């Protein structure tokens, strides 16, 4: 019997390209299961309940947290996000590779709750490139950008806490490296 796959957590600073890498990887390997987070924020246009997020009320989120039904949760920009525990454990028990794409705070909580998880840090090719990505969106005010840059400095400093670092020089290369780490090649 093959050993149960490990949970793989992909984290890194805002703007580093986590969701782009994951989207590319899932296009090539749809068998990799990406955990769907619960959130209290309202759906954006085109987002579907159960596909992009599980959209829940504040009361529902309070219950999930109180009952220990989340592997990790965090508050971000006034909304809460969390990873439902049962679905992740069920997939792992079925021998499916599971990927979580979460922030630093969430990755630290996963380290506490599932010590055998593989934590992967996605790093930018350089600080300048990260600044370019964070400011290049053109959708945020200078104050928000400054807050994001400040957060990114803190997030980059956490790199040594992770098992593996991948540098996002090419989405294709990083997706391939991530699949190899997950033994899905």
Cβ atoms of residues 38 and 148 within 8 Å: no
Show pLDDT as tens, one digit a residue, over the chain (185 residues). 345 568 999 999 988 999 899 999 988 888 888 889 999 999 988 889 988 899 999 999 999 999 999 999 988 778 999 999 999 999 999 888 899 998 898 999 999 988 889 999 999 999 999 988 888 767 778 888 888 889 889 999 999 999 999 999 999 999 999 999 998 76
Q: What is the DSSP string of 70-115?
A: EEEEEEETTEEEEEEHHHHHHHHHTT--EEEE--HHHHHHHHHH-T
CA–CA distance, 167 with 70 (Å, rounded to integer): 29
| Short-list 147, 117, 173, CA closest to 155 | 147
Beta strands in the chain (DSSP E): 7-11, 33-34, 38-39, 54-55, 70-76, 79-84, 98-101, 118-123, 164-167
CA distances from 64 to 5, 34, 80, 85 (A): 25, 20, 11, 10
Give the global pTM: 0.85
């Amino acid at each position: 019997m093959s050993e149960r796959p490990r949970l793989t957590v992909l984290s890194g600073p805002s703007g580093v390209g986590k969701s782009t890498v994951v989207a590319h990887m899932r296009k090539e390997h749809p068998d990799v299961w990406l955990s769907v987070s619960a959130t209290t924020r309202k759906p954006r246009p085109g987002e579907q309940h159960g596909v992009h997020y599980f959209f829940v009320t504040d009361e529902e989120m309070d219950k999930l947290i109180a009952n220990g039904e989340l592997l990790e949760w965090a508050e971000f920009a006034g909304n809460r996000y969390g990873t439902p525990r049962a679905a992740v454990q069920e997939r792992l028990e079925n021998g499916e590779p599971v990927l979580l794409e979460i922030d630093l705070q969430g990755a630290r909580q996963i380290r506490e709750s599932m010590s055998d998880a593989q934590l992967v840090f996605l790093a930018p090719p350089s600080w300048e490139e990260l600044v370019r990505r964070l400011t290049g969106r053109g959708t945020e005010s200078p104050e928000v950008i400054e807050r994001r840059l400040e957060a990114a400095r803190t997030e980059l400093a956490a790199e040594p806490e992770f098992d593996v670092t991948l540098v996002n020089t090419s989405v294709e290369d990083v997706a391939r490296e991530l699949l190899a780490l997950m033994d899905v090649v």
